[in-house]
Structure 1
């Protein structure tokens, strides 16, 4: 689902590097157009990837600034068209081609290896030419002022393709995944950063190592929120900048779906929870919460998302529906812009609530008395073991 849908999965990046001089629309337009999507409908190319308009994937010229620059956001889509030939179909046609080759060369018992490769390429090319490409779209919204880019392609391969296209398009800029430790640094006070650095188990800034060596952060955060949920302490206050007012009250809790894991062993708990008996049993056997659905409510508005704790991927992030007063919209372009800004508003507010939760957790997790608080949390969850779960 796209970024404008009520429910969307996404990850976030920090954009690192110095922006080109001038207005964003002026320097971004030629760069996006130069690396725009090229159709392969009338060719036998297997795949093609490039930039397209977020509003209309058929538009790839970026000639109208309003199509892709809505201050402070640059918005565009990665369009990837790909042809696929089913393995069984390819095998059937390849066998027929080999039979024809052997019939023309009666002295051979089987086609030589290099000939088989040639036949395979020819057959595959012919089949691809007869197959329509299937388009896929992944939206990117880049907040130029904050240096944060939100991308809806959570698949590892697609994210890698996107990062490569971005690097090729915007020379001198690079994307750094907003992994748990990086996000934690963004939400805590300056005074706590040295403490977080000490807790950081990674020895380099490499994103993969930062993720793999710091799974404790996501696991402890979700276990902390479960303890708050079980004890009925689900009231929080907004403490991060964003659309919602500072110190505004909201509710947050875990429910509906939890995935607990210890190595290859996994336990999935689905459906509304009462006493959270199954998750607590799984925790007692040494498992940690790897994914969980977080509900957040402020007034009449509600958000929910399934958070993957290892990487802080937001899956099925559902925000309040965007509703517009039609009388206030003068034309189609203005309507698209109004929907875009409203959608960015509700997404930003939901992330503001999430970051406020994370800030609350880190204030406890990085405090000197964390062992005592952790023991209290263990007791709330009814866990007998007293050792640190991430040690």
Structure 2
């Protein structure tokens, strides 16, 4: 689903590198136009990748600033069209071509190697020309004030393709994943920064090392939130900048789906718990056995507004982020361009609000996780999980 849909999956990146000395938006428009999507509908090309307008994936023109600019946001979409010929169909047509070649050349018992390659390419080209390309579109929004880019796919191939094309398009700039350790560094106050650096288990500054060695960030965060869900009010206060007012209250809790994993004799074992959770008994049993939370559905409620997302702990990817619905008043006289802009701004307001609540929740967790008393706090959490896991008849009244 695209960025304008009520439910979307998001991963985020920081833009690093040297920006142009002139106007960033004019430069970006020129670069997007130079790397625009080229249609292959009427040809036989196998693949085409490029940028299209976020509002309309059929349009790849970036001459007008309002086709890619919304206030301080740069907006564009990655479009990838590909023709695919089923392997079985390709094999059948190739075997038929080989048979026809041998029939026309009775002096040969087998097709020469070079001819085989020619036949294979000819058959593939013929089938591709008769096959319509399948389009795939992924939205991107670049917040030029925060330096964050949000991308609407969590697939590793799509992310790699997006990062490569971004680097090719915007020369001198590249994207770095906004991974858990980076996000933690962005939400904590300055006085906690030494504690975060001490807790850093990575030996290098590479993204892979920072993510792999600091897996404890996502795992401990979900463990802490599970404890908050079971044994606390779940009430927090907004502490990060954004649309919501600082100090405004909100509620956060886990429910619906948990993914727990851990090592076993047969390898890594994954446990998926789906449906509304009551006492999280199965989850408590698995966590007490040494397994870790890898993914969970988080609810964030502020007033009548509700955000729901599935947090993938290793990378802090947001799967199925559902924000409150966008409601716009319109009539027959509404200008379509103004309507699209209004939809975008309202949608971004709601998405930013949800991410602001998440970052405030993360900051609250880090205040406890980076405190010297954390070992005692973690021990107390495990004791409460043990109590929650005991049969009701054995629990104290």
Shorter chain as denominator, the TM-score bin is over 0.9
Alignment partner, residue 61 of structure 1: 61
Q: What displacement does 1:270 show?
A: 0.2
CA contact (8 A) 1:280 1:383 kept: no
Q: What displacement does 1:112 show?
A: 3.6
Separation in structure 2 between the aligned mates of residue 241 and residue 14 of structure 1, nearest angstrom: 17
Moved more, 56-65 or 375-384: 375-384
- Change in Cα spacing, 1:86 to 1:249, as seen in structure 2 (3 Å) is same
1:111-150 to structure 2, matched below 5 A, reads 111-150=111-150
Moved more, 291-300 or 111-120: 111-120
Secondary structure of the residue that 2:20 maps to in structure 1?
A: coil
1:240-319 to structure 2, matched below 5 A, reads 240-263=240-263, 264-319=268-323
Q: What displacement does 1:194 show?
A: 2.1
1:137-286 to structure 2, matched below 5 A, reads 137-263=137-263, 264-286=268-290
- Change in Cα spacing, 1:197 to 1:329, as seen in structure 2 (3 Å) is farther
Query: What TM-score does the superposition give when structure 1 sets the normalisation length?
Result: 0.95
Separation in structure 2 between the aligned mates of residue 197 and residue 232 of structure 1, nearest angstrom: 29
Moved more, 168-177 or 189-198: 189-198
Alignment partner, residue 392 of structure 2: none
CA contact (8 A) 2:288 2:382 kept: no
Secondary structure of the residue that 2:362 maps to in structure 1?
A: helix
CA contact (8 A) 2:300 2:306 kept: yes
Alignment partner, residue 384 of structure 2: 380
Alignment partner, residue 100 of structure 1: 100
Query: Any gaps of 5 or more consecutive residues in structure 1?
Result: 385-391
Alignment partner, residue 329 of structure 2: 325
Q: What displacement does 1:43 show?
A: 1.6
Secondary structure of the residue that 1:33 maps to in structure 2?
A: helix
Separation in structure 1 between the aligned mates of residue 305 and residue 343 of structure 2, nearest angstrom: 17
Deviations 1:270-326 (A, max 9, x none): 000011011111112221111100001000000000010001110000000011122
Q: What displacement does 1:20 show?
A: 1.6
The alignment of Structure 1 onto Structure 2 pairs a total of residues equal to 384
Separation in structure 2 between the aligned mates of residue 299 and residue 322 of structure 1, nearest angstrom: 16
- Change in Cα spacing, 1:172 to 1:111, as seen in structure 2 (3 Å) is same
Alignment partner, residue 395 of structure 2: none
Separation in structure 2 between the aligned mates of residue 88 and residue 77 of structure 1, nearest angstrom: 33
Alignment partner, residue 345 of structure 2: 341
Alignment partner, residue 13 of structure 1: 13
Q: What displacement does 1:10 show?
A: 1.1
Alignment partner, residue 389 of structure 1: none
Separation in structure 2 between the aligned mates of residue 51 and residue 210 of structure 1, nearest angstrom: 31
CA contact (8 A) 2:238 2:250 kept: yes
Query: Any gaps of 5 or more consecutive residues in structure 2?
Result: 389-397
Deviations 1:163-194 (A, max 9, x none): 11110111111100000001000001112222
Alignment partner, residue 32 of structure 1: 32
Separation in structure 2 between the aligned mates of residue 383 and residue 71 of structure 1, nearest angstrom: 52
Secondary structure of the residue that 1:149 maps to in structure 2?
A: strand
Secondary structure of the residue that 2:54 maps to in structure 1?
A: coil
Q: What displacement does 1:260 show?
A: 0.3
Query: What TM-score does the superposition give when structure 2 sets the normalisation length?
Result: 0.94
Q: What displacement does 1:106 show?
A: 3.3
- Change in Cα spacing, 1:275 to 1:22, as seen in structure 2 (3 Å) is same
Separation in structure 2 between the aligned mates of residue 328 and residue 340 of structure 1, nearest angstrom: 19
Separation in structure 2 between the aligned mates of residue 102 and residue 308 of structure 1, nearest angstrom: 56
